Amino acid sequence: MINTDSTLPILYSLRNCPYAMRARIAIFKAKQPVMLRDIVLSNKPKEMIVASPKATVPVLVLTNGTVVEESLAIMLWALNKTDPDDLLQTNNEHGLSDMLNLINSFDHEFKVCLEQYKCAKRYRETNLIECRELCEQFIQTLENRLTSHHFLMSNTESLADIALLPFIRQFARIERQWYLQSPYPKVRQWLNNYLQSPMFTKVMAKYPLWLDEHKVVLFGDEDR
């Protein structure tokens, strides 16, 4: 724990980091107010490094000094506080474990393939198609799920949807023209619905960097 005089939790975040993005989405969905501190990796606040020596975002410092360092843990913290959309699907006995299994496979397997795909495109490597095809195995899984129901787990939105969203967004941007013609119409529709939503616009709003102005930015407790 660390000492904090804040009356609200403090969230250190990086606007386009997918892990920070999904933490913000969950906080927004849960309507849990936090003090948002936007940072850049080239100039990390000493306060964040003291709180979390690993110095990667997101970092949530609770009012009692407890530090939550992993994005999924921050999401669960927020939704266990309040979950107005039932993203944890509490009426489904195996709902949370099934969601966590899906999220785990994307966090630890898809993410590796995604990084290889991004590098292959950036550096014009000869294995671009091979890297894309490895990612497609995971995308096809989502397409199959979305063919069966409106969201990844059921006909209602869940933790899994908002946890995977930032990484599917990255995938869609690597080879944009290929993606738009790819055989994954359900994934495209699912992703577009999020990207065009008022929620996503608010979660991705650009705020002044905290180190520049030390401006208090309240995030999470607003009407949707």
Does residue 108 share a domain with residue 43?
Answer: no
Does residue 152 share a domain with residue 137?
Answer: yes
The answer to whether position 31 is within a domain reads yes
The answer to whether position 2 is within a domain reads no
Does residue 138 share a domain with residue 153?
Answer: yes
Instruction: Round to whole Å and give the CA distance between 202 and 22.
Output: 13
Domain with 176, as residue range(s), is 95-197
pLDDT at 91: 87
The answer to whether position 71 is within a domain reads yes
Does residue 80 share a domain with residue 30?
Answer: yes
Does residue 190 share a domain with residue 205?
Answer: no
Angle between helical axes of 185-195 and 128-148 (0-180°, round to 10): 80
Does residue 70 share a domain with residue 31?
Answer: yes
Does residue 157 share a domain with residue 136?
Answer: yes
The answer to whether position 4 is within a domain reads no
Q: How is 35-79 classified by DSSP, letter by letter?
A: EEEE-BTTB--HHHHHH-TT--S-EEE-TTS-EE-SHHHHHHHHH
Q: What is the pLDDT of residues 3-25, one digit of tens each?
A: 455 689 999 999 999 999 999 99
Locate all alpha helices (DSSP H) within the chain, ordered by sequence: 18-30, 46-51, 71-81, 95-105, 111-122, 128-148, 159-174, 176-180, 185-195, 198-203, 210-213
Does residue 213 share a domain with residue 189?
Answer: no
Q: What is the pLDDT of residues 28-76, one digit of tens each?
A: 999 999 999 999 999 999 999 999 999 999 999 999 999 999 999 999 9
Q: What is the pLDDT of residues 104-160, one digit of tens each?
A: 999 999 999 999 999 999 999 999 999 999 999 999 999 999 999 999 999 999 999
Count: domains in the chain: 2
Does residue 141 share a domain with residue 123?
Answer: yes
Residues 190/146, Cβ–Cβ less than 8 Å: yes
CATH value at residue 44 = 3.40.30.10
Instruction: Round to whole Å and give the CA distance between 178 and 172.
Output: 9
CATH value at residue 126 = 1.20.1050.10
The answer to whether position 120 is within a domain reads yes
Does residue 67 share a domain with residue 17?
Answer: yes
Does residue 146 share a domain with residue 77?
Answer: no
